[in-house]
Structure 1
Amino acid sequence: MLIDGLQCGFYGRDVFEELKAGGFTCVTPTLGFWEGAIESFDAIGKWRDMARANSDLVTIALKTDDILAADRYGKTALLLGYQNTNLLDGRIRYVELFADLGVRVLQLTYNNQNDVGSSCYEAVDPGLSRFGREVVREMDRCGLLVDCSHVGDRTTLDAIEWSQKPIAITHANPSSVFPHKRNKSDEVIKALAAKGGIIGCAAYRNITPVEACDRVDAWAEMVARTVDIAGIDHVGLGTDFSHHTSQTYLDWMRQGRWTRTAQYGAGSATNTAPSEKPAWLKKISGLAAVAPALAKQGFNPEEVEKITSGNWLRVYRAVFG
């Protein structure tokens, strides 16, 4: 089994065939970044249509058993998620509505502070807002996984403390391995693990060591260093792989509607273009090479299984059953 905690981009039958070729059991696609409620409802409708049109390849998962069933039938389970809470439009009741429509993962903030909490790019992170605490508890109640990948450290620590269930950092790396505002401190990762959570190691070039982008064995070594921090039960895969993206898509990810000025996300003024994919992961099916690379790092078969799928399944079971 192979589970990827976060992907993004434009999906179609070609991508679903690629996921099947790569042996994926479950993937969390990104349905939105900055969109409000109506646009986000539209995105769910679009994904339901795509799942029906490609029902021989994919299925939308609502429970962990749906993921296991998809694996038995040779399909890829889709765990619907958004990389922001803008879709709530400030309404606590929308958490339940989106959960009822099949959403299972919500990132608290994207690259900007919102009414829930702070992003990783703010100069000051005051932590979860009062509304943010309400959202986290409501997500617990409704079975939505709290994602803190682009979230500031103080807000992340607050979410870990406030949530009554494990939370996730679906796509990031340790900042002690690769210093970047988008990556997570050892303090945050250890706090995450202490509450049963998980970090999905990313393969996004802007937040990943050069060597780990050049060779899968070096990427597996980065995963091993993450395990040294979090423990074997709290590390998974969260590639942040993008399908069929363009500069227009990248500009929307970085700027949304909130600014007229240039924004670079995890890039910089000298690194504005879409990042080149890792040499060993030009196609997402290349992630199948990770399991053998982890074994070369000294992980036994049970430990490889935990990293490639088992740890995600444990967290999913704890959050939404």
Structure 2
Amino acid sequence: MLIDGLQCGHFDRDVFNELRLADIGCVTVTCGFWEDTVESLDSLGRWRDLARENADLVGEARSATDIRAIVASGRTALLMGFQNSDLFQGRIRLVEMFAELGVRVVQLTYNNQNALGGSCYEEHDSGLARFGREVVREMNRAGMLVDLSHVGDRTTLDAIRHSEKPVAITHANPKRLFDHRRNKSDEVIRALSDQGGVIGCATYRNITGDDYCGSVEKWCEMVARTVDLAGIDHVAVGTDRSHNFVKRDYDWMRMGRWTRGVDLGASPPSRPGKAPPPDWLLQVRDIGKIEGGLAAVGFSQDEITALAHGNWLRLYAEVFGH
């Protein structure tokens, strides 16, 4: 059984069937990027409808116990998440309210500076703002996981130090293995580990690189080198796999409403459109190859269990509750 720390896109019954074929026990889904409060509520409503319509394949989870029960029923658990904090719209009380609606994972910033702190793409990372400290504290209290994947390094370190509960980098890789602004420095990864957090290694080619995308064994070698940095208890899977995206979706994800120009997000100018999937991950069901790949590069069964789902489950229990 595998837990995927983040996927995005337009899920449908075909995707849910693929998740089952890959034996994915739980996945955090992206309910929004730049959406405001009302748009985020609409998104949650659509996700609830989708889960109800496919209740034989998936179920919404709000706790580690929910995840275990859904997995035991032969289905995939869905955790509701957002890749930005715009859903709160500057209102601290909305953190608790969205938690009550089932939101379990929120990234502090997406690709731009916001009221909480700096992003990985800003020239100067401001660090965690006063409002950001309040939101982190409120997320801790409400049982919501702080995600730092697209967050700038200074803001990330501030959030790790300020949070009273472990935090996550749900979908990124070590910068020393592939030098990209979306990836994380050794200092960040070690601080995350020291605080009890988890990094989910991504398969997104633009931040993983062609070499580590060449085979599942090569990607698992990257996981092994991440374990060397963070420790076996602090590394997991966060593929960042997208489903059924077209150009309009990529434009929204990268540019939202904040620019009239063109922004490529993590894409290099030589590859401005959709990044090709890893050579070994052409279908969603291929995620199921990961556990075999981990064994092939030398991980023991206990270590594979930790990487595949144990570390996420431990973190979820600490943050959401059992």
Partner of 1:2: 2
CA–CA distance in structure 1, aligned partners of residues 284 and 111 of structure 2: 25
Q: How far apart are the structure 2 equivalents of 1:76 and 1:37?
A: 27
Secondary structure of residue in 1 paired with 2:132: helix
* One-letter amino acid of the structure 1 residue matched with residue 11 of structure 2: Y
Match of 1:166, as an amino acid? P
Q: 1:120 corresponds to which residue?
A: 120
TM-score (norm 1): 0.99
How do residues 57-136 of structure 1 correspond to structure 2 at under 5 angstroms? 57-136=57-136
Corresponding residue of 1:274 = 274
- 2:22 touches 2:287 (CA, 8 Å); kept in 1? yes
| TM-score for the superposition, normalised by structure 2 | 0.99
Partner residue, 1:319: 319
Contiguous gaps of at least 5 residues in structure 2: none
Q: CA deviation at 1:12?
A: 0.8
Amino acid at match of 1:275: A
Q: Tell me what 2:139 maps to.
A: 139
- 1:260 and 2:244 correspond: no
> Any residues of structure 2 matched to 1:179-258 within 5 Å, and which?
179-258=179-258
Q: Which amino acid aligns with 1:92?
A: I
Could you tell me how far apart the structure 2 residues matched to 1:220 and 1:196 are? 22
Q: Is 304-313 or 266-275 further displaced after alignment?
A: 266-275
Distance in 2 between the 1:293 and 1:209 partners? 18
Task: Give, in angstroms, the shift of residue 219 of structure 1.
Answer: 0.2
SS of the residue aligned with 1:266?
coil
Aligned to 1:46: 46
Letter matched to residue 58 of structure 1 = V
**Code of the aligned partner of 2:206:** N
Distance 2:270 2:263 in 1: 12
Task: Summarize deviations over 1:9-63 as a string: whole Å, max 9, x none.
Answer: 0011111111011101000010000000000000000000011111000000011
2:293, 2:270 → 1: CA distance?
33
Moved more, 249-258 or 262-271: 262-271
Q: Which residue identity does 1:315 align to in structure 2?
A: L
What is the rounded CA distance, in whole Å, between the counterparts of 1:142 and 1:203 in structure 2? 30
Per-residue CA deviations over 1:134-188 (Å, capped at 9, x if unaligned) read: 0000000000000000000000000000000000000000000000000000100
Residue aligned with 1:287, SS = helix
Pairwise CA distance, 1:293: 1.0
Question: Aligned residue pairs: how many?
Answer: 321
Provide, for residues 201-256 of structure 1, a one-character-per-residue CA deviation record: whole Å limited to 9, x for no partner. Answer: 00000000212211000000000000000000000000000001111100101000
Matches of 1:307 and 1:7, distance apart in 2: 17
d(CA) in 2 for partners of 1:272, 1:108: 26
SS, match of residue 169 in structure 2 = strand
**What is the match of residue 288 of structure 1?**
288
Unaligned segments of structure 1, at least 5 residues: none
1:27 alignment partner in structure 2: 27
**Letter of the structure 2 residue corresponding to residue 311 of structure 1:** N
- Residue 163 of structure 2 corresponds to 163
For the residues of structure 1 that align with 2:320 and 2:48, how far apart are their CA atoms? 20
Amino acid aligned to 2:151: V
Distance in 2, matches of 1:84 and 1:19, equals 25
Question: What one-letter code is carried by the residue in structure 1 that aligns with 2:261?
Answer: T
- The 8 Å contact of residues 4 and 238 in structure 2, kept in 1 or not, is answered as yes
Check the 8 A contact 2:236/2:306 in 1, yes or no.
yes
Aligned residue for 2:148?
Answer: 148
Specify the code of the residue in structure 2 equivalent to 1:155: T
Per-residue deviation at 1:269? 2.5
The 2-side partners of 1:235 and 1:60 are apart by 24
Partners of 1:281 and 1:117 in 2: CA distance = 34
Instruction: Give the distance between the partners of 1:296 and 1:188, measured in 2 at CA.
Output: 28
Post-superposition Cα deviations, 1:108-147, rounded to whole Å, max 9, x if no partner, equal: 0000000001100000012000000000000000000000
